[in-house]
Structure formats: C-alpha cells, structure tokens
Amino acid sequence: MTALAAGEESAVRPPSPLARPYRLATIGIIAIAGLLAFEQMAVGTAMPVAARDLHGVPLYAWAFSAVFIAGLVANGYAGGWVDAQGPARPMFTGLAVFVAGLLIVGTAPTMTWFIAGRAVQGFGSGLAAVPLYVVVARVYPEQSRPKIFAAMAGAWVVPSLVGPSIGGLVAQHFGWRWVFLGIVPLVVPAALALAPTVRGLRADGAMPRGRMLTAVTSS
C-alpha cells in the first residue's frame, strides 16, 4: 500500500468512540446503560427472596410489570422533553428518579412499597434512556455511531447474561436489599462522566403539549 493510499484510508477511518474527544461521554453512556439494564433484567434472582421476605408472593408479578409499564410511559414523555429542553435535564432527572426508586425498593417495609419503588425506578429508567440516544446522534460523527450503538447493545446484553448470577450472589451473601442499594453509589460517577458533554447540548425545539400527551398515551 502506498503512502498516499494509507493516508486516504486513515482520513476516512471513523474516529473511535474511545478517542479523546468522546472518551468520557462513551464511558458515561455505557455505564448508565449498563446500570439501567442491570436493574431491569438482572434482579430476577433476588425477586423471589424479596417477595417471601415481604410476604408478597401473590403480588410477585407486579414487581416486574411496574417497571416496564412505568418505563414505557416515561419513554413517551422523555422524547418531547428532550425536544423542548435538550437531553441534560431529562437525563439527570431520570437518574435522580431512578436512584429514588432504588432507595424505596431497597428499604421497602412491605410488598406494596416494593412495587411502588419499582414503578418509580422504571419511570426514572425510561426518562434517562431516551437522552442517551440523542447524545449519540448529537455528539458522535455519523461514521462512529454504529460502534457506540453496538457498545450500548452490549451494555444491555451483558447484564442479562451475567447479572442474574451476580444478583443471586449479592442476595445470598449480603441480602436482597443490596441488589438495589448497591447500585446507588455507581450512578453518580456514571452521570459525572457524561455531564460535561450533555450540558453543552441545547434543545432542538419545543414539542406542543398536545403532541407530548399523544406520545405518552400512545406508549
């Protein structure tokens, strides 16, 4: 290969998501996606223990349904919010709500509180997930987006494979509550890694309230 051909190949090669301008953003995106995925997919091994401990086995299914229902509603709302105000506020609000849900679940005295906490957790997760995709679209060059999307997909797949084992070990050795409470301190560094990038992104335009309501109800 000639020097000219090598230079042309280098010129068209897309930058890596771990290149210096994108490194912190990539770490933050993957960490947040992984934490959200873990709490949606990897807590199944702790659920039976929690339901028995809280005398709520008949309500067991709602511990899963509440997360997904609340997350769907939040997804519909988050899209309009991001359009109106940019991704920063929806993402950080979603992470704060997600942490609040973890705390409610991890300290729940009854199964009713546990399910309520799962719903709060799911709503926060739904709010925080949508801005991540907006950040990718607004920050990364088009040629680099397949790589970061693949990494995000991996951040969802890996917790579904190894998360149940980790959750089971934590529940066995430390108690089921720490499957939820143990995630709380991990959210802060993940958010801080992404904060400098997200704060610089402005809104594309406001979504009318009618369209936002339609998005929520249709989800």
pTM: 0.84
Q: How far is CA 77 from CA 68, 98, 100, 121, in A?
A: 14, 15, 19, 15
pLDDT along the chain (219 residues), means of 10: 44 73 89 89 84 92 92 92 90 96 96 96 94 90 89 87 86 91 93 87 55 42
pLDDT score at 100: 97
Query: Domains of the chain (ranges plus CATH)?
Result: 21-218 (1.20.1250.20)
Q: What is the pLDDT of residue 201?
A: 77
Q: What is the pLDDT of residue 117?
A: 96
| Termini Cα distance of the chain | 53
How many residues are listed for the chain in this entry? 219
The pLDDT of residue 12: 61
The amino acid that residue 130 corresponds to is V
pLDDT at 206 (0 to 100): 47
Rounded CA-CA distance 15/4 in Å is: 19
